[in-house]
Amino acid sequence: MEQKKKNLPEVTLGQYKGLAVTRHVRPVTDKTVDIELVHQARMHAVYHPTTAPAKRGFRALLDFVGYMDGKEIPDSRMENVMVVLGDGKLMPAAEQAIYGHCAGEVFRFDFTYPQDFRLPELSGKTAQFEINLRSLAEKVTPAPDEAFAKSLGWFGQIFLSYGFLAYLAIILALLSSYFLKHTRPGLHLRSVGESASTADAAGINVTRYKYLATCIGSMIAGLGGLYYVMDYASGVWSNNAFGDRGWLAIALVIFTIWRPNVSVLASILFGGLYILYLYIPTGSQMAVKELYKMLPYVVTVVVLVISSLRNNKEKQPPASLGLSYFREER
C-alpha cells in the first residue's frame, strides 16, 4: 500500500504582541433602541382565534379542492393547509376569494388556467375551487413600549426570542463540529468517510461507525421536521407542507463543505435567500417568485464549482460519501 502525505510548511510567527488596536464603538441612540423594540415586539407576536372576516395578515387553516365539469380535478385536493394571507403562498385568485369570509364558511370561486399551463388538459379552461375555511387567527403584536422592554431584559432578548429547538440546532451544530475535529471517535468517523478500507486496515470498526452515524444523523434530521411542525407551523400538520425544504437542507450541507460550525451562519444566509421573494415586488407573476426561490440552490452550485476548481482537499466532500463498503472486496 502506498500513501502520499503532503507536509505543511513551518511557519514562524512575527511580532504580534503589543500591537495597537483601534476599538470602534457604535453609539446606541434612541432610534436604535426604538427599532430594536419594534423588532422584538414583532418576534413576540402571537395568533389569537378570531371570528372577524378574513383580511391580509390573518392566518388561515383551510381545505380546498378543484372541480371541472362537475368532476374533481386529480391531485387538486389539499387538507389542513395553513397560510398567512398576503404572504404570497396562495395564488392571488384564492386569496381574493378568502377575503371577507369568516371561519367555518365553505365557498367557491372560479379560476381560469393560463394558456401556457403545464397540464395541456387544463390550459385555458375555467375551473371551480371550493374552500373550507376551517379557522382564522389574527396576529396580535405587543406594544413596543417601556413595559414590554422591561419584560424582556437581556436574558429574554437572547434566550426567549426563539423556540427551544432553534437554540438546540445551534448547540448540536457546534457540538458536532467539536466532535469531528477534536475527538478520537470524530477523527475515526472522518477517516471512515474518506477511505473505509484504510480505516478498516487501521483497526477501526467501519460498520459500527457507519450505523451509528446514520442513526444519529437521522435523529437530528427528525428534530428538523419537529421544529417545522411545532414552531414554524405552530403545531399544525399539513400534507406536503415541507415542499423543497429537505433539498434546501442538503444544499446547505454542500454549501458549508460538510462543516457543521459554518452551517450556523450559512443557514441564516439561506433563510434570507429563501424568503427574499416575499420582499421583492413581483405582482401576480408566480413564475418570477419561483425563480427567486432558486437563489439558495444557485449559490450552492457556484460554491461547488469554485471548490472543484480550487482542488483543495479540505474543501471537498468525503471521498467515500454514499459508497457501500464490503471487507471482502477490499
pLDDT tens-digit map of 6-33: 666 777 777 778 788 787 777 777 777 7
**Rounded average pLDDT over 184-213:** 89
Q: Which residues contact 90 (CB under 8 A, 6 or more apart)?
A: 83, 98
Does pLDDT of 221 surpass 60?
yes
* CB burial string 13-25: b at 16+ within 10 A, e below: eeeeeeeeeeeee
Lowest mean per-residue pLDDT among 14-28, 126-140, 307-321: 307-321
Grid cell listed for 169: 440546532
SS3 82: strand
Most confident of 139-143, 177-181, 286-290, 305-309: 177-181
Sign of CA dihedral 165, 166, 168, 172: positive
Rounded distance between C-alpha atoms, residue 296 and residue 64, angstroms: 30
Its pTM surpasses 0.85: no
